[in-house]
Amino acid sequence: MSRLKVMLTDEATGQLVDAELDLDVGPHDLDELEKVWGPQRREAARRIAREKGSHGVPQHWHWDWRGKGSLLRHPTYRCIGIRCQGELQGIALVDADQHQARIEADRGKPLLYIEFLEVAPWNNSQLVDRRRYTPVGPRLMEAVIRYSEAEGYHGRIGLHALPQSERFYDRCGMTRMDRDAKKENLVYYEMTREQASDFLTKGKRP
């Protein structure tokens, strides 16, 4: 199993803490993760619905990572996670095949596609008043960029974003493209090699 060290901030103390980047999160890990994340995610959704109405409910409240583990049987899929204090703090499921760039300058070139990306409920500012660890989302994006580079894609990334996640990907410096009728009319985002280099160099922290 491939593990690399990354740093997160413990928001309770303000101190940096050691975390691990796990490049081989498996189906069993996803089963165990969903047992913890699922109830917390759904309970937060119910609480937010009571307090703010249905418009405030997280759009990913129904996700179930147990069902996504089957994708890992395909050799082009990989699940990347960040672990701290023995728990997964965030994960991204990516596909290294079948996707090509749409931006004119890179059109037709292969890219790494993010199928799903989620931080643990206790690290999601949409669900809690104070996150436990930060910045989990940006560190996951950094890991995905570096995996894209390792695959020979020069940091190119593509994804379809839930409306509530669009601001995050805007702040990551990705190019916002058209809505995709084939993907529930979600906005398609793409990151060029130049944007990837800029993200890594400047250490952007959405």
Six-digit token string for 141: 């994006």
Nearest to 22 by CA among 72, 85, 91: 91
Beta bridge partners of 95: 77, 113
Question: Predicted confidence band at 100 (pLDDT cuts at 50, 70, 90)?
Answer: very high
Mean pLDDT, the chain, integer: 94
**Domain boundaries 3-27+65-201, corresponding CATH code:** 3.40.630.30
- pLDDT at residue 204 is higher than 80: no
* Pairwise CA distance, residues 26 & 150, whole Å: 20
Beta bridge partners of 118: 91
Nearest to 95 by CA among 124, 68, 59: 68
- pLDDT at residue 79 is higher than 90: yes
pLDDT value for 205:
47
Amino acid at 195: Q
- pLDDT at residue 4 is higher than 90: no
Give domain limits for the chain: 3-27+65-201
- pLDDT at residue 12 is higher than 70: yes
pLDDT value for 157:
98
Looking up tokens 């309770």 gives 12
Q: What is the pTM of this model?
A: 0.93
Beta bridge partners of 161: 187
- Tens digits of per-residue pLDDT, 30-51? 999 999 999 999 999 999 999 9
Beta bridge partners of 93: 79, 116
- pLDDT at residue 3 is higher than 80: no
pLDDT value for 2:
59
pLDDT value for 53:
87
Six-digit token string for 172: 């990551």
> Higher model confidence: residue 203 or residue 26?
26
- Compute CA 137 distance to the chain's CA centroid, rounded to the nearest angstrom: 6
User: How many DSSP H helices and E strands does the chain contain?
Assistant: 5, 9
CB atoms within 10 A of CB 21: 19
> Higher model confidence: residue 98 or residue 50?
50
